[in-house]
Structure 1
Amino acid sequence: MLFFLNCNPILFLSILLLCGILMLIFFIPANKINYLKIFTFNISSIIFLFSLNLWINFFDNTSCFQFFNTSNIIVNSNLMYVIGLDGISLFFIILSTFLINICLLISWNSINFFLKEYLICLLFLEFCLIQVFCVLDIFLFYIFFESILIPMFLIIGIWGSRTRKIRAAFQFFLYTLIGSLFLLISIIYIYTVTGTSDLLILWFTDFSHYLQFILWIMFFFSFAVKIPMVPFHIWLPEAHAEAPTSGSVILAGILLKLGGYGFLRFSLPLFPFACIYFSPIIFLLSLIAIIYGSLTTLRQIDLKKIIAYSSISHMGFVTIGIFSLTVTGIEGSIILMLSHGLISSVMFFCIGILYDRYGTRILKYYSGFSQIMPMFIVFILFFSFCNISFPGTSSFVGELLILIGLLDTNFSLVFITLLGIVFSTSYSIWLLNRISFTSLNLKYFVYFQDISRREFFIFVIFSICTIWIGVYPKYFLNSINFSTLNLVKHLILN
């Protein structure tokens, strides 16, 4: 008991998750369905509450890493298990623990086979995500970064909803794995040259400009596939279309943020000159992603692919904000990533509700649902407005800060970026109109049911979160500010 009281809180979260996984594997039989669900939900809820406690005990007025801990993995070696949190990583951990908890509620009645294995995959995924956002060793980061592929591959391939799920799982796995091989090669080279993989030491290592170019490109391929940036986005719509609802929530809500986090944590501080040099290319690719993602969304007929392509567009805003290389732009990109994690997740949940009831995601079958599912339409209306960055919502804060940051970098980029907001409004209102209004299609549907209490509870939680970030962003920006200031100062000094 004394060990847990004195334990580093991040270590405590990790140990608790590992204990929960071991309990599921060895002590709870697979036929005890209710015990499995309740036990996993309780463990995940405790993890989420403790992650909130990290925020409560977080000091806003410092850029130093907090809850810092270091220990040897291999005796007499330079490989260390170094963990710590700053304002950038804090909210990604909270987002991860929150969405895993929500995924358990979403899939409460929809996963009907191999339930025990599914719950183990979710907890293992949560463990890897926490490690990714807190480890300060690039080699360990790579290990956990790639370990996430295993449970996601299984979730898509086993519990996917359609016949192409195996193909989509392999496509997701191979695309992201091949992209990450460039990251592994560069990490091995860095370790060979410097003799360490500790990020805090590498921050003060002066790489030559030529070497920065090479290493930045290697890191870029890995992170660009994860975001995903155009033209590395091919795997995303297929993976979303075949994944179960909880898998789509994890993909859109958390995994797409790994690329942006990688740019912030590694590319910007390690290769500052290369980031400045290659920023025009990032702007070009991001603008293509914004315009292409929005226009492609307008021509989709699969509901999941509509949200998937819209995610490509929104993540284009994120990369523009990151490579604006301004405090305001970077803060806006972090807020937008958090906002997108919430809004895209709940939009996939909306689609999951329709699919669970009617067994199809083809848009032409849905119309006039305001007559038969009024509560559902109220919520999808609200989240559609969140998706178009309506003032008072979380996306508005993120996109506004990004545009303000761009004003200091390239004024002409602001006007082109604003086209993305116009297009996002177009496809969001178009989708809402198709589902909600026009005449009810009684030819295809004879059974109608509005949202349940569990679904209503999930919608309310997401609504509160998006309004909270939109109305009171200072609670989040205060924690982020010193970390982003430190990052930009490091770019300027180098």
Structure 2
Amino acid sequence: MTSLPLLTLMMVVPLVGAVVVAALPSGAARHARQVALGVSLVTLALGIAAWVAFDSGSGAMFQLTETHAWIPQFGVSYALGVDGIALALIVMAVILTPVCLLAAWNDVDEVDTGRTQRYFALMLVLEAFMVGVFAATDVFLFYVFFEAMLIPVYFLIGLYGGPRRQYAAVKFLLFSLAGGLVMLVSVIAVYVAGPGGPDGFLVEKLIGNVDGSPAALRWMFVGFFIAFAVKAPMWPVHTWLPDAATEARPATAVLLVGVLDKVGTYGMIRFCLQLFPEASTWATPVVLTLAVISVVYGALLAIGQTDMMRLIAFTSISHFGFIVLGIFAMTSVGGAGSTLYMVNHGFSTAGLFLIAGFLVTRHGSKRIPDYGGWQRVTPVLAGTFLVAGLSSLALPGLSSFVSEFLVLQGTFMRYKVAAVIAALGIVLAALYILLMYQRVMTGPKPAFAEGGHPRDLNRREKWVVAPIIASFVLLGFYPKPVLDLVNPAVDRTMQIVGVTDPAPTSAAPGSSK
């Protein structure tokens, strides 16, 4: 344990860094990218320190806690803390941020230094809010970070995105605000139905103490769930994601899909299950149905896409369906698998978006039919793209396989039909990934104008890809550190909900084994 306020520092450092980057004098503005990268590496060091200081064997619900009165008249506290699930997601966020900053090195015209400064400053602000939303242990503080994240993302898409960036940014904002406003009603209702007092929004104080009729508690659950379903995103409130991810810069798309959208599934565990256990079991059949539809629907639409970035966005809708399926399977195996899936999906999505972005930078098109034969001219780029795709389709030996297997196993223990239908997503994933690779990378060598032959990955791009590929292999062969971190929190959530794993069935006496 440590007395340092590590969680606060992990927000303050990038916020101060953002101010420094934005305020650099004209003579030093060309160093904005280096300063932003350095700040993100300091934040990463703090994240590693938090991991080291965390005691997986502790019986405390939250560790690294900080609690200070903020607005005691309304029961609001500045309260931070993490369990294993929150810490795993924070560490994923602080790893991906420097990777994305390095990938975005040349995203903005270097001559326009003021524009470059604002771009990198916004990404640091986003990093601070991402840490805050996972670390908040006060429901109202969580809501503040939940809404605050919209600001940097809106500007990152609306100012630096593609041709339809304004449409995509506004659509993202409207969907997110609508879900957030619905959740705000439930946030207020939770305080009214809870024990109240100057710290009445604390999660630990609310668990088991939100009183009300079953109908009232179910409505509160619905308010939270709608906001998290929009953020996740789940069918049918997913339509903002393909537009936002397609128009955003690849680095922004990684932070949006790989990290921010995990707030939705994280919120389902932290608030839907823990604050409303009866309502969660009541809603499980509907949620599982929506999750299975998301798995199959997202995969089918991915197969039909001709835009590379849009295809990757639709794959995430399918993957989030798997995550929600594991959460509401109400088994320890499914819960651990869904949490591990959140981490693995963050890295696999980063690989796909960033490497596809490198490809688009070289050719100037996102359309799959405009490619073919690129493995003959950029073999390293093609190889890393294939590995990222194989991780996304859950090839055994790579990270996503473990989490997908655990989710399906945990779901099959209690909901066999849902697990069998969702398993179709594995077959469809192989189709959309391998077909995309075939159309983009295989075939005869493409013809280029004289002097227009594209270069393979340069040194900076290899530094971007290396930690992502390493995560595929490490978490594919040795997921134990993450599972050991999250399992106590998963078990505690199951105890709060009041469910236990189904007893294993055994063969009847005299039957063949």
TM-score range (shorter-chain normalised) is over 0.9
Query: Of 432, 450, 453, which residue of structure 2 is paired with 1:447?
Result: 453
Superposed displacement of residue 78, structure 1? 2.4
In 1, the alpha carbon distance for the partners of 2:288 and 2:75 equals 38
- 2:100 corresponds in structure 1 to 103
- 2:489 corresponds in structure 1 to 483
- 1:232 corresponds in structure 2 to 237
- 2:506 corresponds in structure 1 to none
Quote the RMSD (CA, aligned, Å).
1.7
State the SS of the aligned residue for 2:376.
coil
Mean Cα deviation higher: 398-407 or 70-79: 70-79
Aligned-partner residue type, residue 73 of structure 1: W
In 1, the alpha carbon distance for the partners of 2:489 and 2:371 equals 46
- 1:52 corresponds in structure 2 to 48
In 2, the alpha carbon distance for the partners of 1:282 and 1:493 equals 17
Gaps in structure 2 of 5+ consecutive residues: 501-513
Going from structure 1 to structure 2, the CA distance change for 1:189 and 1:31 (only over 3 Å counts) comes to farther
- 1:124 corresponds in structure 2 to 125
- 2:169 corresponds in structure 1 to 169
- 1:199 corresponds in structure 2 to 203
Going from structure 1 to structure 2, the CA distance change for 1:193 and 1:421 (only over 3 Å counts) comes to same
- 2:70 corresponds in structure 1 to 73
| Residues 393-412 of structure 1: pairs in structure 2 closer than 5 A | 393-412=398-417
Aligned-partner residue type, residue 365 of structure 2: T
Superposed displacement of residue 15, structure 1? 2.6
| Residues 429-440 of structure 1: pairs in structure 2 closer than 5 A | 429-440=434-445
Query: Does the alignment pair 1:313 with 2:310?
Result: no
In 2, the alpha carbon distance for the partners of 1:430 and 1:31 equals 49
TM-superposition CA deviations, 1:35-61 (whole Å, max 9, x none): 211111111101011101111121111
Q: Please say if residues 11 and 128 of structure 2, whose CA atoms lie closer than 8 Å, have aligned partners that are also in contact.
A: yes
- 1:34 corresponds in structure 2 to 30
Going from structure 1 to structure 2, the CA distance change for 1:204 and 1:370 (only over 3 Å counts) comes to same
| Residues 90-489 of structure 1: pairs in structure 2 closer than 5 A | 90-112=87-109, 113=112, 114-160=115-161, 162-194=162-194, 195=196, 196-207=200-211, 208-442=213-447, 446-489=452-495
Q: Please say if residues 30 and 116 of structure 1, whose CA atoms lie closer than 8 Å, have aligned partners that are also in contact.
A: no
- 1:85 corresponds in structure 2 to 82
Instruction: Compute the TM-score of the two structures, normalised by the length of structure 2.
Output: 0.92
Gaps in structure 1 of 5+ consecutive residues: none
Q: Please say if residues 11 and 129 of structure 2, whose CA atoms lie closer than 8 Å, have aligned partners that are also in contact.
A: no
Percent identity of equivalent pairs: 31
Aligned-partner residue type, residue 132 of structure 2: Q
State the SS of the aligned residue for 2:21.
helix
Aligned-partner residue type, residue 322 of structure 2: F
Count of aligned pairs: 488
Q: Please say if residues 291 and 324 of structure 2, whose CA atoms lie closer than 8 Å, have aligned partners that are also in contact.
A: yes
Superposed displacement of residue 493, structure 1? 7.1
State the SS of the aligned residue for 2:66.
strand
Going from structure 1 to structure 2, the CA distance change for 1:467 and 1:186 (only over 3 Å counts) comes to same
In 1, the alpha carbon distance for the partners of 2:330 and 2:375 equals 45
State the SS of the aligned residue for 2:79.
strand
Going from structure 1 to structure 2, the CA distance change for 1:259 and 1:63 (only over 3 Å counts) comes to farther
Superposed displacement of residue 73, structure 1? 1.3
Aligned-partner residue type, residue 69 of structure 1: E
Q: Please say if residues 189 and 220 of structure 2, whose CA atoms lie closer than 8 Å, have aligned partners that are also in contact.
A: no
Mean Cα deviation higher: 30-39 or 332-341: 30-39
State the SS of the aligned residue for 2:446.
coil
In 1, the alpha carbon distance for the partners of 2:388 and 2:265 equals 23
Q: Please say if residues 329 and 406 of structure 1, whose CA atoms lie closer than 8 Å, have aligned partners that are also in contact.
A: yes
State the SS of the aligned residue for 1:73.
strand
In 2, the alpha carbon distance for the partners of 1:139 and 1:76 equals 13
In 2, the alpha carbon distance for the partners of 1:365 and 1:258 equals 35
Superposed displacement of residue 351, structure 1? 1.3
State the SS of the aligned residue for 1:370.
helix
Going from structure 1 to structure 2, the CA distance change for 1:271 and 1:74 (only over 3 Å counts) comes to closer
State the SS of the aligned residue for 1:72.
strand
Q: Please say if residues 231 and 264 of structure 2, whose CA atoms lie closer than 8 Å, have aligned partners that are also in contact.
A: yes
- 1:9 corresponds in structure 2 to 6
TM-superposition CA deviations, 1:417-436 (whole Å, max 9, x none): 11010000111111111111
Going from structure 1 to structure 2, the CA distance change for 1:355 and 1:493 (only over 3 Å counts) comes to closer
